[in-house]
Amino acid sequence: MTIALMVGSIVFLARAFKPTLKTFGTTEFNKGTFIAKLRKSTIIYIFLLLIMLWLMVAKPILW
């Protein structure tokens, strides 16, 4: 389960941050939208990392 969450977090990192960062410095760049997307992606990623940490430390009997 932890490994699946790790893989999921890597996929999330690629899908959430790459398109947002590609707009930086282009004509489509809007500072407010850019900051909002980065903030939302960062909060979700931190939440995924906390779940992963809990799975590694608590070692729940899920499997």
Tens digits of residue pLDDT in 8-36: 888 888 888 888 888 888 888 888 988 99
pLDDT band at 39, cuts 50/70/90?
very high
- Position 62 confidence tier, pLDDT thresholds 50, 70, 90: low
Provide the residue ranges of all domains of the chain, joining segments of one domain with +.
2-58
Q: How many CB atoms lie within 10 A of CB 45?
A: 15
52 burial type by CB count under 10 A (0-12 exposed, 13-18 middle, 19+ buried): middle
CA distance 25 to 41: 19
Task: Quote the mean pLDDT of the chain.
Answer: 85
pLDDT at 1 over 80: no
Query: Has residue 63 got a pLDDT over 80?
Result: no
The pLDDT score that the predictor gives to residue 36 is 93
